[in-house]
Amino acid sequence: MTVSVPKRLFKRAVDRNLLKRRIREAYRLNKPELYAILFKKGIKLDLMIQYQSREIESFHVIERALIKGLDKLKAIE
């Protein structure tokens, strides 16, 4: 799993690192369910998450967006 926060959106490294930490934590909390489904289906996955909002969102907003994306991955057959 890779996380990317573009430098052109957030010039300060402190902001980029904050967002990357929030994304990684949201993924860590929600990955067991995804791993169980992928293992059951026999699918291996390389995942890259890129932050695209121009604002620094709260953890809960990031987590909801991540869950929505993971749900789409779970639906793949």
pLDDT of residue 43: 86
pTM of the model: 0.91
Domain ranges of the chain: 2-74
pLDDT of residue 73: 86
- Look-up: residue for tokens 């934590």? 25
- As a whole number of angstroms, the distance between CA 56 and CA 41 comes to 35
Provide the token pair at 69.
Answer: 């994306």
**Interior angle at CA 23, CA 74 and CA 58, nearest 5:** 115
Residue 56: closest CA among 31, 47, 11, 25: 11
The tens place of each residue's pLDDT in the chain, 77 residues long, gives: 999 999 999 999 999 999 999 999 999 999 999 999 889 989 898 999 999 999 999 999 999 999 999 999 888 76
Residue 22: closest CA among 66, 68, 73: 66
